[in-house]
Chain A
């Protein structure tokens, strides 16, 4: 049975473009132009993944409200914000509400597909927890990254990273001691943003690790070049 993906987006061209692309991938796609329709539909049945815009027609923060409701209904439902709003404030707000990723609309369709499939992969991996877990785990001292489930552990404690953050950590930790500049990190994380967005991603990642281990200093800033995983 194909996965159901809900797109809540008030701009019809974008909505239909995304829907077409996803349908070609074999997903079943439901589209909603505003928060009310989407909300009504989600009351009936939850989709397997939701793509959310923040501003929905007359509701400035309709996407945020919808995200809160959905998270209330299901803790595991993958939610991706796909929006034109790229300020740090919106990003942080979106992620706090429990979104799995926050993408700006300049993301390319292949990048979007990669994320969606990654999220579904993680979901499946979590559900089939007993499968060969050894193979796809990257361990760097206190860090262990489960590449199937797309989840990270630091000193055996789970760290709730978004998809982008997970890929950045992975890109850094894959070759410890090597400096990764911002462009490389963007490629690896399947995003294209400006330098300061990378900086704020790194900042958030550090904060999440410091939340578990206050002495965390594995990510080094090499001024003028980029970042490096401290082995």
Chain B
């Protein structure tokens, strides 16, 4: 099984990912905010509808001014819708196309006067009115099987197809106008006498202009007249004359009769007062409708479209880049949507009916293309405890989406630096921790040598945290270990020192005994006691040898020593000292000069040679070789054919009190010989190693010296 090893740094980095939970929670929160925003928007819009209704109740005159007259027949009322753009007075209906719902169909049931030769279905028209700035525009798409033009030679103006207009001026004057033409093109109205039977025009009225254009089905007539001419009533009627020779007016279809003031249709002229009032109350991306109790639109203000990020242009380049990024990840409000209500002149629906029955409502609807959701609030407008109309407020909920996006952007803008900063901090912190721990590990590692000795006690960290604590504990531990090691190493010399006094008592007592009783001199027991005393003394000397050597090392001076000369001299000495062992000395041709204390080197050689002699049988050769290693160290090897070293002891063979000798030998060995060798070779910056050899079997001790 492979075990993956995670470093502390990796672990902390993994944990730092939990910081990412913060934006996630924020995201959840923002999403949850939608419900809250929606309900608060509903409440706000409802409140606004309510206050708007109250405002309108205080200006009830603005409403009643236009809707006071009770109209039961819908077609008898002309609704004047403000138009978004001016109408080109050319007789073509292209510029009305967006106001299709304004068109009202007038056909058989609107016949005011039927001529004798009227053929059913031969005449009907679609009509729309609208206002732009100070003018009223009207269009008539007339289906006529036979178009009759005015004969300029004829005095009567009603010998042809023509449009009749009757109105009540603001001054309360009843006026009638006829519009006819001799050919398609621009026309102007003729003021007619109030008497409907008098068909001779009084004068041309240039303020009322029109354009006549023939179509496949009949003709189209566009007219324009200044609103200032119109009071509270206005009627249009199309007069269809099929036979100019008949000498009488043809069939008439229209909103109402144009003959008498009492019969005229009512008209709602956009009131600047109400519009102004609504405009001041209006709000971005919301629309206010005011309707009368017949659900007719009295006033309209505001626009649902155009919810845009207003401050986008003021952003700096990096935030623009960011917003580009947000555009990719966040749902953006649709740039446009289809608004079926934008052109209606009459509002239908449950909300309106509820409002007109006296109850406010708040509801949501989706646009037909599902691009946006619209919030609608309605409120009845009361006057004298009776519902006289209603207000309807609409608001685009895209605002909520926009707000959500804003919040999301804020969240991301905030959490990215927090995440980056947090991660950076964690990485730095982890790095610091790791480096401190590695430092401590390296210190600990260096403090103990490969053979388990305390090389030096490192300085403990003085920081207050756990790692500092660990460092202090380690340092303390090493200190104690060091002290214990020192105690062990010095024990030999301490022991010898302490034993010397009682030994001295024994020795001086025995000496005294010998002198007092001369006959005891050769007593077996006395001899044995003295022999034991000698051995004890020997042991003590050996014990203190190491500590004395340490002192000697401190005082020793190094001089240039030729190891080959020294070795030759020593081996000659060993040969006389140990005649039972043949010595074989091999010295290579190279230079073997080292910087050393010769006495100590000799002492070291003595130990190794004694060791070699002790471990090998008599008559076996002790081979001593002096040569160079491949990396130019001087190597002095002493080989004996003794039993191999136990493998487990090879590492600490050179430590104090370590001996591999059989314990039953008579002479005492304390394992200090090789320890002394090590002390001396370390003093010379060299090293020593022991190795078992195969051919011939034996053990070799190798000393390595650094050449000069």
Contact = CB atoms under 8 A, between A and B. Distances in A.
Q: Is A bound to B?
A: yes
Interface stretch (B56-64, B377-385, B571-579): B571-579
19 contacts: A13-B505, A17-B505, A21-B515, A85-B497, A86-B548, A87-B547, A88-B555, A105-B500, A106-B537, A109-B508, A109-B512, A181-B577, A192-B537, A195-B603, A196-B603, A197-B548, A221-B602, A224-B572, A224-B577
Most buried by B among A194, A224, A225: A224
Interface in B328-372: none
Nearest to B571: A224
B512 A21 contact: yes
A24 interface: yes
A11 B504 CA distance: 10
Contacts of B537: 106, 192
A86 B501 CA distance: 12
B565 to A, nearest CB: 9
Q: What are the 10 closest A-B residue pairs judged by CB atoms, nearest first?
A: A224-B573, A224-B570, A109-B511, A17-B508, A225-B573, A105-B504, A84-B500, A223-B569, A13-B505, A194-B541
A24 B488 CA distance: 44
Interface in A7-35: 11, 13-14, 17-18, 20-21, 24
Contact of A222 (B504, B540, B573, B603): B573
Contacts of A197: 548
Nearest to B499: A84
Interface string A184-198: 000000001111110
A21 B511 contact: yes
A199 interface: yes
Given A85-B497, A105-B500, A20 B605 contact: no
Contacts of B540: 106
A4 interface: no
Nearest to B504: A105
A2 interface: no
Contacts of A24: 515-516
Chain B interface SS verdict (over half): helix
Contacts, number: 108
Interface of A: 11, 13-14, 17-18, 20-21, 24, 84-89, 104-106, 108-110, 181, 192-197, 199-200, 221-226
B505 A11 contact: yes
A99 B501 CA distance: 21
B511 A110 contact: yes
B606 interface: yes
Chain A interface SS verdict (over half): mixed
A89 B511 contact: no
A10 to B, nearest CB: 10
A109 B509 CA distance: 9
Interface string B514-549: 011000000000000000000001001110110111
Interface of B: 497, 500-501, 503-505, 507-509, 511-512, 515-516, 537, 540-542, 544-545, 547-549, 551-552, 555, 566, 569-574, 576-577, 598-599, 602-603, 605-606
A143 B177 CA distance: 168
A113 to B, nearest CB: 9
Given A21-B515, A85-B497, A194 B551 contact: no
A110 B508 CA distance: 10
B505 A14 contact: yes
A227 B522 CA distance: 35
Contacts of A104: 500
A225 B609 CA distance: 13
Contact of B602 (A13, A88, A223): A223
B504 to A, nearest CB: 4
A194 B294 CA distance: 136
A194 B545 contact: yes
A105 B533 CA distance: 13
B548 A14 contact: no
A84 B501 contact: yes
B508 to A, nearest CB: 4
B603 A14 contact: no
B36 to A, nearest CB: 90
A172 to B, nearest CB: 17
A65 B481 CA distance: 37
Nearest to B676: A196
A105 B511 CA distance: 13
A32 to B, nearest CB: 17
A107 to B, nearest CB: 8
Contact of A17 (B500, B503, B512, B599): B512
Contacts of A87: 547-548, 551
B505 A221 contact: no
Given A193-B541, A223-B598, A224-B605, A106 B573 contact: no
Contacts of A194: 541-542, 544-545, 548
B504 A14 contact: yes
A196 B503 contact: no
B509 A17 contact: yes
A52 to B, nearest CB: 14
B545 A196 contact: yes
Given A20-B512, A86-B544, A106 B599 contact: no
